Structure 1
Amino acid sequence: MGFRFLTLIRPFMGIIPEVAAPDRKVAFNQKVLWTVITLLVFLVLSQVPLYGIMSSDSSDPLYWMRVILASNRGTLMEFGITPIITSGMIMQLLAGAQIISVDYSLREDRALFSGAQKLFAMLITFGSATVAVMTGQYGDPTSLGAGICLLLIIQLFVAGVIVILLDEMLQKGYGLGSGINLFIATNICEDIVWKSLSPLTVNNGKGPEFEGAIIAFFHLLFVRSNKFMAVYEALTRSTLPNLTNLVATVLVFAVVIYLQGFRVEIPIKSARFRGHRASYPIKLFYTSNMPRHYAHETVAT
């Protein structure tokens, strides 16, 4: 039954979009270039709003998860990397539980399994887009009309396919690192930079203040006569990003980078060559952010 499942994927392989593997080793400078291009495309998709929406101010059930899902509400990156993670996790669990059989030593099985993951991710993207539009996440479907609803679904689906192909391009060696991790890191860095240097002003009753924590710090020092209170306000303001948030974020980054260097050396010996000993290093953060993704998918399901 397992092999039959992969056989069922074969007719779709001709229509599933695919990034061709490089026919020669990709130079490092080219990898850097392709990585930068990929991240620029992702950033553009994260900022382009969906055309045709009436409102995206309804409650957001994924608000606290959008950081690790690399998604942005009301934009082409509404679903972020969710379809990729969901399809990959489900397919890996099915293969690991031997519900579907995959022989990774066979090139055809590897290709079919990869194609199944992409097809499943595309179906999840289309299904999620349809549900989001028809449940009124962007406005009442009857008020939007059939044409706008269809246009919204197409926008979300095409953007999802682009992200899938960008991730595949990096995985096949055109870029540096994993697409999923790069998208998450880019989304987080964009948020940090914006909340630190945003030039937008907000009036919260005490006069206009800059949204960016660093810009607000210098602005408060300039406009407040009491410099001590200006520094205190820049460190502790609760309605907008403050310097304490920024310092805490930098400290967390430093601790994580430091702990990334920790590893456990597991001694191993060869059964074929007697007396041959070696060690297998396992990083302290071996599982990375996957437990959070698994927890999210379990709760969401």
Structure 2
Amino acid sequence: MSKSVRFIDLVKPFMPIIPEVSTPERKVPFDQKIIWSAVSLLIYLVMSQIPLYGIMSSDNADPLYWLRMMLASNRGTLMELGITPIMTSGMVFQILGGIKVLDVNLDLRSDRELYQTAQKLLAIILCFGQATVYVLTGAYGPPASLGAGVCLLLILQLVFAGIIVILLDEMLQKGYGLGSGISLFIASNICEQIFWKAFSPITHNTGRGTEFEGAVIGFIHLLLTRRNKAKALYDAFYRSTLPNMSQLLATIIVFGVVIYLQGFRVELPVRSSRARGPYGSYPIRLFYTSNMPIMLQSALTSNVFIISQTLFSRFPNNLFVRLIGTWDSRPGTAQLSAVGGLAYYMQPPLSIHDAVIDPIKTFVYIVFVIAACAFFSNLWIDISGSSPRDVSKQFKEQGLVIAGYRENMAYKELKKVIPTAAAFGGMCIGALSVVSDLCGTLGSGTAILVAVTTIYGYFEIAAKEGGGVPMPDFL
């Protein structure tokens, strides 16, 4: 296909009007990267606490309840959309690139700029589309009651906040900060939620008296105020209506297990085919595709939930709709929960007690999560350019060969290891997510896994760029 008719070239007229962060002219020092990352995080946290101006109510059932932590979003605030538009845009372009639909040479600066502009343009369009859907479907009150002016103002607020997030992510990815804004915002949102559930000072009347919401503060308060210390200790560890110490301990244990498993890897000895020198190593980790399988599985599940809730609210007696899922509100809240259909078996058990009550649902859920994570992990290595063929091509370009093998044997040897590591790693991540949900950790198992793997990735970036841990150049 000639360049004059490439699909990506349709973006050229938008390049002058799409906001852009310029690439730094020289390498940004490590300490300045930390400062820029901290400033970006501060801006995100402030926006996630500023309520949207003009909303009437946002207390009705939240169709994105299961994915809020993963999307780094906060309902009723400027961060309502979170990183959804930019993550969706990025995944769409990665998939298009992986299946060779886009004719783009990222080694050329002009093509690279076109590609980045196209991603931002799609993300802005998604911001506008999602904001419009939110407002017109009554997420903040009936549109007729809000009025056309307020509806437009709400849409503009959400689009403006979405553009800010896009630019913050671009700034970090272009070398001003560490890693990407998407990872930073997701990890911070998850850690914020866990910290709040552990130390929240808000009080609730549980029927046994006033108790603090935070697990740690509630634990201390119960021990100091109750005469029966054994009963106070039991309530602090097993109270069901508020976060408890058992959930906090389970969260800490899961953090430790995931960090421990991050160290599992197969080291392939490699050497340069162009010059003599010491052997290096190419690590193939157990979590070869990082947290991407569980993120894709979570996105699939949440999209099914959104579609099912929307259809059930409009056609509750339709047989096909009921097969997808039936929904009812949880006791004491307006939040809907699946009580039947396909969505019920895709919804995680909230505790070991719930898992034991319905073992068939638990078995189906476990098989679904593990199988989906293994499938998405294998799919992602082809889409993201980390398949055996892609890695062997990188070896050839860098003049590397696997020690003890001829140059043309790299692909065959990598094919023995990479798909197995991807599938087994995806299964392990799925199993960890299930165990975390059954143990009742603070936040979903998926969210905790994403937080730990993201934080670990930042630690590795900091160690590499800060000079703490020497690493081979080809890593």
Cross-structure match for 2:81: 79
Give the distance between the partners of 1:35 and 1:280, measured in 2 at CA: 29
Give the distance between the partners of 1:180 and 1:22, measured in 2 at CA: 20
What are the superposed Cα offsets for residues 202-250 of structure 1, whole Å, 9 maximum, x if unpaired? 1121111111111111110111100011111010111111111111111
2:53 matched to 1:51? yes
What are the superposed Cα offsets for residues 11-40 of structure 1, whole Å, 9 maximum, x if unpaired? 101111111111122122211111111111
**2:68 match: secondary structure:** helix
Cross-structure match for 2:70: 68
Q: How does 1:282-293 map to 2 (within 5 A)?
A: 282-293=284-295
Give the distance between the partners of 1:248 and 1:170, measured in 2 at CA: 33
Mean Cα displacement is larger for which, 291-300 or 269-278?
269-278
Cross-structure match for 1:35: 37
**1:20 match: secondary structure:** coil
Query: How many angstroms does 1:136 deviate by?
Result: 0.7
Q: Return 5+ residue gaps in structure 1 as ranges.
A: none
Q: Return 5+ residue gaps in structure 2 as ranges.
A: 305-475
Give the distance between the partners of 2:63 and 2:273, measured in 1 at CA: 53
Cross-structure match for 2:263: 261
What are the superposed Cα offsets for residues 126-151 of structure 1, whole Å, 9 maximum, x if unpaired? 10000110011111000000011001
User: In the superposition, relative to structure 1, how do residues 242 and 296 fare at CA in structure 2: closer, same or farther (>3 Å)?
Assistant: closer
Mean Cα displacement is larger for which, 145-154 or 252-261?
252-261
Contact 1:50–1:76 under 8 Å retained in 2: yes
Q: How many residues align?
A: 301
Q: How does 1:131-142 map to 2 (within 5 A)?
A: 131-142=133-144
**1:279 match: secondary structure:** strand
Query: How many angstroms does 1:286 deviate by?
Result: 2.3
What are the superposed Cα offsets for residues 245-282 of structure 1, whole Å, 9 maximum, x if unpaired? 11111111111111122222234566667999653212
Cross-structure match for 1:233: 235
**1:69 match: secondary structure:** coil
Give the structure-1-normalised TM-score. Answer: 0.94
Cross-structure match for 2:125: 123
Give the distance between the partners of 1:2 and 1:42, measured in 2 at CA: 42
Q: 1:95 aligns with which of 88, 94, 97?
A: 97
Give the distance between the partners of 1:288 and 1:60, measured in 2 at CA: 29
Give the distance between the partners of 2:166 and 2:53, measured in 1 at CA: 21
Give the distance between the partners of 1:12 and 1:244, measured in 2 at CA: 53
Cross-structure match for 2:210: 208
Q: 2:184 aligns with which of 162, 182, 201?
A: 182
Give the distance between the partners of 2:257 and 2:297, measured in 1 at CA: 23
Query: How many angstroms does 1:7 deviate by?
Result: 1.1
Give the distance between the partners of 2:245 and 2:123, measured in 1 at CA: 40
Cross-structure match for 1:218: 220
2:176 matched to 1:191? no
**1:47 match: secondary structure:** coil
Q: 1:170 aligns with which of 169, 172, 175?
A: 172
Query: How many angstroms does 1:295 deviate by?
Result: 3.1
Q: 2:27 aligns with which of 25, 28, 42?
A: 25
Query: How many angstroms does 1:292 deviate by?
Result: 2.9
Contact 2:49–2:77 under 8 Å retained in 1: yes
Give the distance between the partners of 2:2 and 2:261, measured in 1 at CA: 41
Cross-structure match for 2:11: 9
What are the superposed Cα offsets for residues 70-99 of structure 1, whole Å, 9 maximum, x if unpaired? 111111111111111110111111122122
**1:105 match: secondary structure:** coil
Aligned CA RMSD, in angstroms, stands at: 2.0
User: In the superposition, relative to structure 1, how do residues 233 and 83 fare at CA in structure 2: closer, same or farther (>3 Å)?
Assistant: same
